[in-house]
Amino acid sequence: MISENVLEQALAQVFDGKAAGEKLSLAEISTVWNASGLHNANMRDAIREMIESHCLETQSHHGGLEFVLTRLGEQRFNSCRHQPVHSQDSFDVRLALQH
């Protein structure tokens, strides 16, 4: 299982440069997420965790969902982008890429 820190950092990259209130569709998130090398199942886990943590909110839009970055999410993603990835997290990423 991949640590929450790795998933949070990957999602922070997806929302890089976004401000609170900005939205991304699942397709937009998926496009950027795929570049991380992590699996889509990991993306779903990361999104779910960030919704439960009130960093993202969902909004219905033309039959699909959009994910809205909250102020808390903006602050959390900004702070996690400045944290180094620990060796255990690097191991988690390598492990996820093997499965």
Answer for the pair 87, 95: CB distance below 8 angstroms, yes or no.
no
pLDDT in tens, 57-95: 999 988 789 999 999 999 999 887 655 444 344 444 444
* C-alpha span between 55 and 71 (Å, rounded): 7
Non-local (6+) Cβ contacts of 10 within 8 A are: 33, 36, 38, 42, 43, 46
Query: Strands, E, within 1-99: which ranges?
Result: 23-25, 56-61, 64-69
In a domain, residue 73? The reply is yes
Q: Supply the range of the domain harboring residue 25.
A: 4-93
H-state helical runs in 15-66: 26-34, 40-52
Number of separate helices (H) and strands (E) present in the chain: 5, 3
User: What is the separation, in whole angstroms, between the first and last Cα of the chain?
Assistant: 10
State how many domains the chain has: 1
Q: What tokens appear for 24 in the block? A: 């991304």
Residue 53 pLDDT greater than 90, yes or no: yes
In a domain, residue 98? The reply is no
In a domain, residue 99? The reply is no
What confidence category does residue 56 fall into, taking pLDDT thresholds of 50, 70 and 90? very high
CATH number at residue 78: 1.10.10.10
